[in-house]
Chains A and B, each alone.
Chain A
Amino acid sequence: MRRILLADDDRELCELLAEYLAGEGFETDAVHDGEAAASAVLAGDYAAMVLDVMMPRLNGFEVVQRVRERSALPIIMLTARGEDVDRIIGLEMGADDYLAKPFNTRELAARLRAVLRRGTLAPGEALREGDVVLSPGDRRVDVAGAAVPVTGAEFGILEVLLRGAGQVISRETLCEQGLGRPLQRFDRSIDTHVSSLRKKLGNKPDGAARIKAVRGQGYIFVRDG
Chain B
Amino acid sequence: MVPHGSKPCAARAISSFAMGRLYWKIFLGFWAVAVTVAVATSVTSNLLSDRDAPRRFQVLNQLRLESSAVTAKLLLEQGGEPALRRWLSAQRRNVGPALLVIGPDGRELLDRRLPRQVEERLQGRRPRSERSAGQQTIRERRDLQRFSTEAITGPDGARYQLVLPAPDIRRLAPERRPPRLTGLAVAILISGFVCWLLAGYLTRPLRQLQAASQRLGAGDRGARVAPAVGRRRDEIGELGNEFNLMAEQLERAMNAQAELLRDVSHELRSPLARLRVALDLARRRAGGGSVELDRIELEAGRLDALIGQLLKMIRLRAGEQRVAKEDVDLATLLTAIAEDADFEATAQGRSVRCMVAGPVALRGDPVLLGSAFENIIRNGVLHTAEGTAVEVDLGAADVDGSTVVVTIRDHGPGVPRATLERLFDPFFRVDDDRDRATGGYGLGLAIAQEAVRLHGGEIWAENADDGGLRVSVRLPVSPISPG
Contacts and interface: CB of A to CB of B under 8 A. Distances in A.
A80 B266 contact: yes
Contacts of A188: 367
Interface stretch (B60-68, B104-112, B219-227, B277-285): B277-285
Contact of A82 (B270, B284, B308): B308
Contacts of A23: 281, 284
B367 A186 contact: yes
B81 interface: no
B270 A16 contact: no
Interface in B335-392: 336, 340, 366-367, 370-371
B272 A102 contact: yes
A117 interface: no
Contacts of A20: 277, 280-281, 284
B312 A82 contact: yes
B375 to A, nearest CB: 13
A62 to B, nearest CB: 20
B280 A105 contact: yes
A214 interface: no
Nearest to A191: B326
A108 B370 CA distance: 26
B367 A84 contact: yes
Contact of B269 (A84, A101, A105, A216): A101
B273 A103 contact: yes
A18 to B, nearest CB: 10
A13 B308 CA distance: 20
A12 B332 CA distance: 44
A186 B266 contact: no
Q: Which range holds the interface residue count of chain A? A: 20 to 34
A84 B322 CA distance: 8
B363 to A, nearest CB: 13
A185 B341 CA distance: 13
Interface in B272-308: 272-281, 284, 300, 304, 307-308
A121 B274 CA distance: 33
Nearest to A102: B273
A81 interface: yes
Contacts of B266: 80
Contacts of A101: 269, 273
A131 interface: no
Interface string A185-200: 1101000000000000
Given A19-B281, A216-B329, A103 B336 contact: no
Given A16-B274, A85-B322, A185-B340, A104 B269 contact: no
A186 B269 contact: no
Contact of B270 (A10, A105, A185): A10
Interface of B: 266, 269-270, 272-281, 284, 300, 304, 307-309, 311-312, 315, 321-322, 327, 329, 332, 336, 340, 366-367, 370-371
Given A82-B309, A88-B322, A105-B277, 14 more contacts: A12-B274, A13-B270, A13-B274, A17-B277, A20-B280, A20-B284, A81-B269, A81-B304, A83-B311, A102-B269, A105-B280, A186-B366, A216-B329, A216-B332
